[in-house]
């Protein structure tokens, strides 16, 4: 079975494809999104609950993984940073790739 | 005058017959069932409050025979029941309608046509939300003034409230008011994307949260109490007062503290001349979602403190009927009261922790031995776009109504215009200045802090126009907004539909869904400018600017607000151009209206703003208004009308402007007239659909 993706590749896709392109974060470039910054903080990207749900759809599109059950329970969000999302995808992806 | 409801007609998942509905609710036999008319495999839920097949076939037959959208057909079907055994002159009947998504099925069919290589024009013409009021009056021959509210899930509440305003102001003798929204797969997909569904029967205030959608239409006959008594009508309730507000918070989520809700309820109580302890019951919005129920209860507690009235949500019995939610919930309450019962919440295992309050009652309440025979209750509703509406009703359990307190002592106020603006993506125009804008990112450069990501062009330009007229912020909470738009942001609608066409219904875009509702622009303006007071969003098919002004005028006159921004706008989009049949640029007009004269800023006094339905053949009211006005000295008359009417106006004193369906031409003409320094200006704005609104203003330059 093929290797899934490296953690760095996953982070790049989350930032570029899901956050910047999908959510249309104008004037934000990939380097500006810190791996450990809280995506929902007012000082950061200040994403809202609707955008959080859209990230789940984005992950499903880009990585072909269903993270809905883990990432969202109702209106609560279990992952707050790019690192947390990427680590989970990395684990899930590699588990499926085995 | 006091408005009363004399008759109702319901088409809902609980049935159509009042006895059947009562029996089902008493037995907790809900109308929620499995959807079998579209595929739900891609969704997290497969249930809703569905009309039965037999009813639906009758609705479809009307849609096909009359070539109208299902939403109009459902309205016609229900109003037909409403008019049974009634005798009144349809000429005098006004309409006040509410819908959340109107002809969205026709829009969906249009895109199917396009994808199949066809023009889709027949379907497209049935999409606009205002179409419902034309279809309804064409079918029955109603000739009174018409209003169509699109404030999403609070739309029919706004419609009922405004119907009472139309009666109180004497502008209509009889009004048919209510709401209609059939089920739509597009809308179902949007709520699915927002993960708001309960996969089981919803239980508002219960520990298992989430909502069920539903489909319904419910309409009422509303008239003046004295006339109803004279005519020997059955009276179901009096409409004592209402309050509108906006959360100015978020496109879909309510203000978590319930501030908007408490504002609307407080205004409603104030306008009724009641004290809060006279409210016996609240028929709450109670959708069942985590966000709504807690925030709504907090809002109610802000008003009533520890002594909240009895509260129940009826959505567990039939789902959330969106634009028909408020009207259908009111009908259910009235059916209960006819049977001396207050219906409780749909049964749940246990309270949700945050809403554990015995006043949220779990058993039907028998009112047979109730000492106080007047039951005063509030119908409370909230919506996407932050719109809230609370309406207060009084039902006498012994059907005793008299002419006492028929006349409310309203201290009528004069209404003034302080500022007027027009904005496109290129330029902002005020009375005294013109400011160039960056057409690529107008708001972002004009006021970066008010811009939000993915903000559509209509919202951006509307906020710019709004900022430039909003200069009187002395009492911040009683500032309101009435905004009209024929079609809302069609760019957002298109983006949402593209997400479905590209990736399927299960992947409908949750970030564009909130802008599918036409009132979202109004919500975004309210949020940007912190307008939390009297708030409504309307469509009328070509004179939205003056229609909005009329609603603002009536609100300010009866002291429901201190400042109201009133405006309208249209967005450049290829589908919009197809509907209107000509190129369209994004264009927004906005005015600031107040009910205190300000010597430094007030430029016009508003004498009257009034809507009429014009008889297409005689056009009598147009001719009469123009003839009267042209006889007066120093009065300038402007007529905005479709080309066909031009030849019948002979007077040289009338300037003619060709009507283009954008709904912004009236205020643009008003703005242009300021420079000409007329003493009095009368502008008639007539749409292609024979909808006329007349604005009559006096210049204050000599004061």
**Chain A residues with beta carbon closer than 8 angstroms to that of B444:** 26
pLDDT given for residue A71 in this prediction: 67
Q: Which of B530, B653, B540, B554 is nearest to B610 (CA)?
A: B554
Q: What total of structural domains would you count in chain B?
A: 3
The token duo for B83 is: 């008019």
Q: Are strands B365-366 and B479-484 parallel, antiparallel or unpaired?
A: unpaired
A61–B291 C-beta distance less than 8 A:
no
In a domain, residue A2? The reply is no
Q: How confident is the model at residue B70 (pLDDT cuts 50, 70, 90)?
A: very high
Q: Are residues B389 and B462 in the same domain?
A: no
Measured between alpha carbons, how far is B426 from B460 in angstroms, rounded to an integer? 12
Q: Are strands B635-641 and B654-658 parallel, antiparallel or unpaired?
A: parallel
Q: What is the mean pLDDT of residues B611-635?
A: 87
Q: Which residue of A has its CA nearest to B193?
A: A53
In a domain, residue B408? The reply is no
In a domain, residue B391? The reply is yes
From B585, B604, B623, give the residue that closes a domain. Answer: B604
Residue B649 pLDDT greater than 70, yes or no: no
In a domain, residue A35? The reply is yes
Q: Which of B213, B150, B194 is nearest to B520 (CA)?
A: B150
**B195 to chain A, closest Cα gap in Å:** 7
A72–B453 C-beta distance less than 8 A:
no
**B210 to chain A, closest Cα gap in Å:** 9
B290–A54 C-beta distance less than 8 A:
no
Q: Are residues B273 and B191 in the same domain?
A: yes
| Per-residue buried b or exposed e for B352-373, using 16+ beta carbons within 10 Å of the residue's own CB | beebeeebbbeebeebeeeeee
Q: Which residue of A has its CA nearest to B196?
A: A74
A48–B195 C-beta distance less than 8 A:
no
Measured between alpha carbons, how far is B258 from B627 in angstroms, rounded to an integer? 51
Q: What total of structural domains would you count in chain A?
A: 1
Q: Are residues B111 and B248 in the same domain?
A: yes
From B396, B425, B447, give the residue that closes a domain. Answer: B396
Q: Are residues B322 and B297 in the same domain?
A: yes
Q: Are residues B131 and B175 in the same domain?
A: yes
From B350, B368, B396, give the residue that closes a domain. Answer: B396
Q: Which of B290, B503, B511 sits opposite A50 (nearest CB)?
A: B511
Q: Lowest mean pLDDT: which of B495-504, B534-543, B644-653?
A: B644-653
In a domain, residue B406? The reply is no
**Residue-wise pLDDT tens digits, B348-392:** 999 999 999 999 999 999 999 999 999 999 999 999 999 999 999
**B427 to chain A, closest Cα gap in Å:** 23
pLDDT given for residue B87 in this prediction: 82
A48–B250 C-beta distance less than 8 A:
yes
In a domain, residue B401? The reply is no
Q: Which of B253, B378, B227 is nearest to B303 (CA)?
A: B378
Residues of chain A whose C-beta is under 8 A from some C-beta in B? Answer: 23-26, 48-51, 53-54, 57, 60-61, 72, 74-75
CATH of the domain at A40: 1.10.1200
| B252 at A interface, C-beta within 8 A | yes
Q: Are residues B506 and B443 in the same domain?
A: yes
In a domain, residue A68? The reply is yes
pLDDT given for residue A56 in this prediction: 87
pLDDT given for residue B484 in this prediction: 98
Residue B703 pLDDT greater than 50, yes or no: no
CATH of the domain at B386: 3.40.47.10
B514–A75 C-beta distance less than 8 A:
no
**Chain B residues with beta carbon closer than 8 angstroms to that of A23:** 453-454, 511
Which chain B residues in 302-331 lie under 8 Å from chain A, judged by CB atoms? none
B453–A57 C-beta distance less than 8 A:
no
Q: Directed axis angle between helix B70-82 and helix B53-66, to 10°?
A: 110
pLDDT given for residue B407 in this prediction: 57
Q: Where are the alpha helices (DSSP H) in B347-446?
A: 442-446
Q: Are residues B488 and B471 in the same domain?
A: yes
pLDDT given for residue A75 in this prediction: 45
Q: What is the mean pLDDT of residues B172-200?
A: 96
In a domain, residue B357? The reply is yes
Q: How confident is the model at residue B475 (pLDDT cuts 50, 70, 90)?
A: low
In whole numbers, what is the pLDDT of chain B averaged over residues?
Answer: 94
Which chain B residues in 267-296 lie under 8 Å from chain A, judged by CB atoms? 290-291
**Residue-wise pLDDT tens digits, B562-617:** 999 999 999 999 999 999 999 999 999 999 999 999 998 999 999 999 999 998 88
Residue B545 to residues B239, B251, B367, B692, Cα–Cα distance (Å): 28, 23, 46, 12
Please name every residue paired with B312 in a beta bridge, in sequence order, or none if there are none: B283
Q: Which of A23, A53, A61 sits opposite B194 (nearest CB)?
A: A53
In a domain, residue B407? The reply is no
A49–B511 C-beta distance less than 8 A:
no
Q: Are residues B163 and B277 in the same domain?
A: yes
Q: Are residues B77 and B218 in the same domain?
A: yes
Q: Which of B511, B513, B515, B524 to substitute to test the interface with A, most A CBs within 10 Å?
A: B511
Q: Which residue of B has its CA nearest to A47?
A: B453
Residue A57 pLDDT greater than 90, yes or no: no
**A68 to chain B, closest Cα gap in Å:** 10
Q: Are residues B12 and B105 in the same domain?
A: yes
| B505 at A interface, C-beta within 8 A | no
In a domain, residue B10? The reply is yes
Q: Which domain holds residue B423?
A: 415-604
**Residue-wise pLDDT tens digits, B153-168:** 999 999 999 999 999 9
In whole numbers, what is the pLDDT of chain A averaged over residues?
Answer: 83
The token duo for B126 is: 């049935």
A74–B209 C-beta distance less than 8 A:
yes
In a domain, residue A1? The reply is no
Q: Are residues B535 and B666 in the same domain?
A: no
Q: What is the mean pLDDT of residues B512-535?
A: 95
| B671 at A interface, C-beta within 8 A | no
Q: What is the mean pLDDT of residues A19-47?
A: 89
pLDDT given for residue B472 in this prediction: 64
Q: How confident is the model at residue B471 (pLDDT cuts 50, 70, 90)?
A: confident
A74–B195 C-beta distance less than 8 A:
yes
Q: Where are the alpha helices (DSSP H) in B199-240?
A: 225-230
Q: Are residues B594 and B610 in the same domain?
A: no
pLDDT given for residue A50 in this prediction: 87
In a domain, residue B410? The reply is no
Beta strands in B557-679 (DSSP E): 563-570, 587-594, 604-613, 635-641, 654-658
Residue carrying the six token digits 């169509």: B148
Q: Which of A23, A24, A50 sits opposite B252 (nearest CB)?
A: A50
Q: Which of B565, B555, B689 is nearest to B242 (CA)?
A: B555
Under a CB-based contact definition with an 8 Å cutoff, are residues B607 and B696 in contact? yes
The token duo for B347 is: 């049964």
Under a CB-based contact definition with an 8 Å cutoff, are residues B580 and B587 in contact? no
Q: Which domain holds residue A25?
A: 7-97
Q: Which of A57, A58, A69 to substitute to test the interface with B, most B CBs within 10 Å?
A: A57
Chains A, B: CB contacts within 8 A come to 42
Measured between alpha carbons, how far is B204 from B183 in angstroms, rounded to an integer? 21
């Amino acid at each position: 079975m093929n290797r899934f993706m490296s953690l760095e590749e996953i982070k790049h896709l989350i930032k570029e494809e899901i956050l910047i392109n999908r959510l249309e974060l104008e004037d934000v470039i990939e380097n500006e999104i810190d791996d450990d910054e809280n995506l929902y903080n007012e000082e950061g990207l200040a994403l809202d609950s609707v955008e959080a749900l859209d990230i789940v759809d984005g992950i499903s599109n880009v990585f072909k993984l269903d993270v809905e059950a883990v990432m969202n329970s109702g209106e609560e969000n279990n992952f707050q940073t790019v690192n947390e999302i990427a680590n989970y995808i990395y684990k899930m992806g590699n588990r499926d790739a085995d | 005058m006091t408005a009363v409801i004399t008759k109702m007609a319901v088409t809902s998942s609980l049935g159509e017959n009042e006895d059947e509905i009562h029996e089902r609710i008493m037995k907790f036999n809900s109308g929620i069932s499995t959807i079998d008319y579209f595929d739900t495999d891609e969704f997290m839920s497969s249930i809703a409050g569905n009309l039965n097949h037999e009813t639906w076939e009758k609705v479809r037959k009307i849609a096909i025979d009359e070539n109208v959208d299902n939403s109009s057909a459902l309205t016609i079907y229900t109003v037909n029941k409403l008019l049974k055994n009634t005798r009144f002159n349809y000429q005098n009947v006004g309409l006040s309608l509410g819908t959340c998504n109107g002809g969205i099925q026709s829009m969906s069919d249009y895109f199917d046509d396009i994808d199949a290589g066809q023009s889709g024009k027949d379907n497209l013409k049935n999409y606009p939300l205002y179409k419902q009021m034309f279809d309804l009056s064409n079918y029955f021959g109603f000739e009174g003034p018409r209003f169509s509210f699109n404030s999403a899930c609070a739309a029919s509440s706004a419609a009922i409230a405004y119907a009472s305003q139309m009666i109180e102001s004497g502008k209509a003798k009889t009004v048919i008011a209510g709401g209609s929204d059939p089920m739509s797969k597009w809308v179902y997909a949007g709520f699915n994307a927002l993960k708001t569904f309960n996969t089981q029967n919803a239980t508002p205030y219960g520990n298992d949260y989430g909502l069920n959608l539903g489909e319904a239409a419910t309409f009422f006959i509303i008239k003046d109490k004295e006339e109803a008594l004279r005519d020997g009508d059955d009276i179901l309730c009096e409409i004592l007062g209402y309050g509108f507000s906006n959360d100015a918070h978020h496109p879909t989520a309510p203000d978590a503290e319930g501030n908007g809700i408490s504002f609307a309820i407080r205004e409603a109580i104030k306008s009724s001349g009641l004290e809060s302890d006279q409210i016996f019951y609240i028929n709450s919005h109670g959708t069942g979602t985590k966000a709504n129920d807690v925030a709504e209860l907090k809002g109610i507690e802000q008003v009533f403190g520890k002594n909240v009235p009895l509260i129940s949500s009826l959505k567990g019995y039939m789902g959330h009927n969106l634009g028909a939610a408020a009207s259908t919930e009111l009908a259910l309450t009235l059916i209960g009261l006819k049977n001396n019962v207050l219906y409780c919440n749909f049964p749940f295992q246990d309270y949700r922790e945050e809403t554990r309050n015995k006043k949220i009652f779990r058993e039907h309440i028998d009112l047979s031995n109730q000492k106080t025979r007047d039951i005063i209750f509030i119908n409370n509703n909230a919506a996407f776009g932050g719109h809230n509406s609370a309406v207060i009703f009084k039902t006498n359990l012994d059907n005793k109504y008299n002419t006492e307190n028929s006349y409310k002592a309203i201290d009528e106020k004069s209404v003034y215009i302080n500022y007027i603006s027009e904005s496109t993506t290129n330029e902002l125009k005020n009375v005294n200045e013109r400011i160039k804008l960056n057409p690529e990112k107008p708001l972002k450069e004009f006021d970066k802090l008010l811009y939000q990501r993915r903000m559509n062009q209509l919202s951006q330009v509307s906020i710019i126009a709004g900022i430039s007229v909003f200069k009187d912020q002395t009492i911040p909470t009683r500032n309101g907004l009435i905004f009209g738009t024929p079609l809302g942001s069609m760019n957002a609608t298109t983006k949402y539909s593209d997400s479905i066409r590209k990736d399927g219904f299960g992947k409908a875009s949750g970030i564009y869904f909130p802008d599918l509702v036409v009132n979202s622009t109004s919500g975004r303006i309210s949020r940007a400018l912190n307008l939390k007071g009297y708030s409504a969003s309307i469509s009328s098919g070509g004179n939205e600017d003056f229609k909005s002004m009329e609603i603002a005028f009536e609100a300010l006159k009866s002291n429901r607000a201190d400042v109201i921004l009133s405006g309208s706008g249209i967005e450049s989009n290829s589908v919009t151009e197809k509907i209107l049949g000509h190129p369209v640029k994004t264009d927004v007009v906005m005015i600031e209206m107040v009910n205190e004269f300000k010597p430094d800023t007030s430029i016009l006094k508003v004498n009257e703003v009034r809507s009429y339905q014009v008889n297409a053949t005689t056009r009598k009211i147009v001719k009469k208004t123009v003839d009267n006005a042209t006889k007066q000295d120093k009065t300038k008359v402007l007529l905005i009308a479709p080309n066909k009417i031009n030849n019948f106006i002979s007077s040289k004193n009338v300037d003619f402007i060709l009507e283009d369906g954008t709904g912004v031409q009236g205020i643009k003409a008003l703005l242009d007239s300021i420079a000409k320094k007329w003493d009095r200006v009368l502008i008639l704005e007539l749409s292609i659909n024979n909808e006329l609104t007349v604005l009559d203003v006096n210049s204050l330059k000599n004061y």
